[in-house]
Amino acid sequence: MSQEPWQLRLVKKSLKKKEKLRLLEKTIPISPERAALDLGCAQGILGYFARRRGGFWVHADEDLANLLSAKDILERDLIQLKGEDLPFRDGSFDLVLCLDYLEHIEGDDRALAEISRVLKAGGEFIAVTPHTGRFFLLHRLRSAIGLRLEYFGHKREGYSFPELEAKLSRARLRVWRKTTYSRFFSEFFELVLNLVYIKLLARRPSVRLRDGHIRPASAEEFEAQEKTFALYSLLYPFVWMLSRLDTLLFFQKGYSLMIWARKE
């Protein structure tokens, strides 16, 4: 059995997380001086790679179960949140990462105000959310096949760029860059994997998590699916190649929205 942490094994076979990491590593400069907040760290997968860019990192989440899983790879500086209020002083951070978090909480405006408060003037904010709009057909398909928002822990489907930009502006966060990723084919394969896990593999979760239950959320759950993961690992090269058909859809916006903003 591999000694590599289960989170790192999982990310190697995730189309969307690998693309997200590629974008983050291209746009977070290496800096030993920064103070950064990883808000909504979940099981620590993305925070593990982000902290390799240097600096002092704090990883925060509402769910104790998530933090216990994340501790295996993050080891330290983990904080449990209560609601949208952040237990940090004004101007504490140079950077706040908010990756797949805003769509999971009721008070997204309050959360953005708090993010702005704890950022230093000129501090950077990077967020990823599901991208919504009239022509995102897979969102409709997901509902049609019974994958309700609560399976994903979502309070809302996601955001259009104008909607998110307006929310950020009210919090004195000015967008200076945006992009989308995960076009139709990548999103379709992720949807199929979510469907298989939710409907066929996952046991009823003992703890309800903020970020839902669409994949293993602990070492125990991952180990329970070890054989299935090994089979998927064999199929993954074919899935990856088919997902590259996204390059033919260069004219289409992706199903994930990533923005970069600065505090005024």
Q: Say which CATH number the domain at 22 has.
A: 3.40.50.150
Query: What was the pLDDT predicted at 236?
Result: 96
Nearest CA to 112 among 150, 163, 77? 163
State the CB neighbour count (10 A cutoff) for residue 26: 8
Query: What was the pLDDT predicted at 206?
Result: 57
d(CA 163, CA 141): 23
30 in a structural domain: yes
Query: What was the pLDDT predicted at 169?
Result: 98
β-strand partners of 35: 56
92 in a structural domain: yes
67 in a structural domain: yes
Torsion of CA 254, 264, 101, 39, to 10 degrees: 130
d(CA 186, CA 240): 8
* Domain that residue 43 falls in: 6-263
16 in a structural domain: yes
13 in a structural domain: yes
Query: What was the pLDDT predicted at 2?
Result: 58
Query: What was the pLDDT predicted at 211?
Result: 79
Tally of structural domains, the chain: 1
Nearest CA to 182 among 119, 139, 224, 131? 131
Query: What was the pLDDT predicted at 83?
Result: 86
| Alpha carbon separation from 61 to 7, 28, 37, 79, 136 (Å, rounded) | 16, 21, 11, 7, 29
Sign of the alpha-carbon dihedral angle for 72, 74, 79, 80: negative
Mark the ranges of the chain whose per-residue pLDDT is less than 50: none
Query: What was the pLDDT predicted at 85?
Result: 94
228 in a structural domain: yes
Q: Rounded to 5 degrees, what angle do the CA atoms 21, 26, 27 make?
A: 100
1 in a structural domain: no
- pTM score: 0.93
E strands, the chain, in order: 35-39, 56-61, 78-80, 93-99, 119-130, 173-181, 256-263
